[in-house]
Amino acid sequence: MNQHSSIKGRGSLIERATEIYDFNAALRGRAAPAVDVPADLPLAPVAGPTPAAFVTDAPGAPTFRAPAWTGPVQAIDRIKLAEDGFLRPDSAVTTMSEEFRLLKRDLLSQPRNNPRGNRILVCSAHSGEGKTFCAINLALSLAAEKDREILLVDADFGKPGIPAQLGLEAGPGLMDALADPMVAIEDCVIRTDIPSLAVLPAGQRSNNDTEYLASARTEQLLKRLTDGRPDRIVIFDSPPLLAASPAAVLASHAAIALLVVRADKTPESAVRDAAGLLKGGAQVQLLLNAVRFNSGGRRFGSYYAKGESQS
């Protein structure tokens, strides 16, 4: 018996979420909507190397290795993280850090045999369900892994929150690089004082967010961030699925979509609708985020299925 056996014994947050919600039924929902890209959308090639540099399967073609981040390093506000109930990098083991460690192990153990393999989308039906909370905690947990590099992408263009929550000053970001070919995406990446953790801000919102994301340029840009770097994991904090269409489009670029549900808040119909929008894209996994405020403070994943006792 080790100290984590009580958590293991009741299953991971993914398993518990799947028990609570009739997830298979949700996935039988409707398919993801097709997104039309208007003919007049200005889609210029990606800044940096010519697109030919991305062709890695042609015989004799140059192999492209995504650049290392070179921008200035900013310090993460650990006090703010602690005050807001987030994981504290380098601090003692807590129930929550163990929950995220299990989630991380689960994700790292999944085979990565497709080009989107290292991309994880953190999404939810509505806002306020804990996407940003889970995305940041997962990134912090993964950043503690040896030989892994984490890029946390703020892709909630309507309500970007990652740089502020981490105490970082956001500059241009993903949407700027998508909209303007003169913006090199790697120059938008903020390095942090956790060497294995970098952040890509959302950038300036446009009226054509979904169309930009649905364009071929998105895949080119994402390849530019990850090609030739199998140890680089990209985590996207997405917009709410039921409020905006970019989330479903982003899911088509990811290998795994973690659909955050709050047992105390997300109705099953919303989970079903949200999962339906993800159909045909990433592999979908429910992630249980239950928030309770009690005398012991904030808790993560504190929901227990009926019949189980609460400790």
Ligand X SMILES: Nc1ncnc2c1ncn2[C@@H]1O[C@H](COP(=O)(O)OP(=O)(O)O)[C@@H](O)[C@H]1O
Query: Applying CB under 6 A, which residues contact ligand X?
Result: 84-85, 124, 127-133, 161, 289, 291, 298, 300
In the chain, count H helices and then E strands: 13, 10
Q: Which are the contacts of 193, defined by CB distance < 8 A and separation ≥ 6?
A: 73, 74, 75, 76
Q: Closer to ligand X at the Cβ: 91 or 110?
A: 91
**Nearest to ligand X of 51, 85 (CB atom):** 85
Structure tokens at 193: 């004082």
Residue 179 or 247 having the CB closest to ligand X: 247
The site partner of 85 among ligand X, Mg ion, none (C-beta below 5 to 8 Å per kind) is: ligand X
CB of 235 to Mg ion, least distance (A): 13
Closer residue to ligand X in complex, CB, 156/227: 156
Partner that binds at residue 289, options ligand X, Mg ion, none, CB closer than 5 to 8 Å by kind: ligand X
The region, left, alpha or beta by phi > 0 then psi within -120 to 50, assigned to residue 15 is alpha
Which one of Mg ion, ligand X, none is in contact with 56 (Cβ closer than 5 to 8 A by kind)?
Answer: none
Phi, psi torsion values for 112, nearest 5 degrees: -115, 70
Instruction: Give the span between the Cα atoms of 153 and 144, in whole angstroms.
Output: 18
Nearest distance from residue 160's CB to ligand X, in Å? 10
Task: Answer whether 221's CB lies under 8 Å from 187's CB.
Answer: no
Which does residue 101 touch among Mg ion, ligand X, none (CB within 5 to 8 A, set by kind)? none
- Contacts with Mg ion, residue ranges (CB under 5 A): 131-132, 156, 161
Return the amino acid letter for 157.
Answer: F
Distance CA(17)–CA(271), nearest Å, equals 11
186 binds, among Mg ion, ligand X, none (CB under 5 to 8 A by kind): none
CB 159 to ligand X: min, Å:
6
Least separation, in Å, of the C-beta of 239 and Mg ion?
8
Task: Give the shortest CB-128-to-ligand X separation in angstroms.
Answer: 5
Rounded-to-integer distance, Cα 274 and Cα 286, Å: 11
Please give the single-letter amino acid code of residue 80.
K
Strands 73-74 and 149-154: unpaired
Residue 300's binding partner out of Mg ion, ligand X, none, with CB under 5 to 8 Å set by partner kind = ligand X
Query: Which residue, 183 or 241, is less far from ligand X as judged by CB?
Result: 241
Cβ nearer to ligand X, comparing 179 with 282: 282
Closest CB 85 distance from ligand X, rounded Å: 4
Distances (CA, A) of 2 to 6, 16, 145, 236: 9, 21, 21, 33
* 8 A C-beta contact, residue 10 and residue 16: yes
89/117 with CB nearer ligand X: 89
Tell me which residue has its CB nearest to Mg ion.
Answer: 132
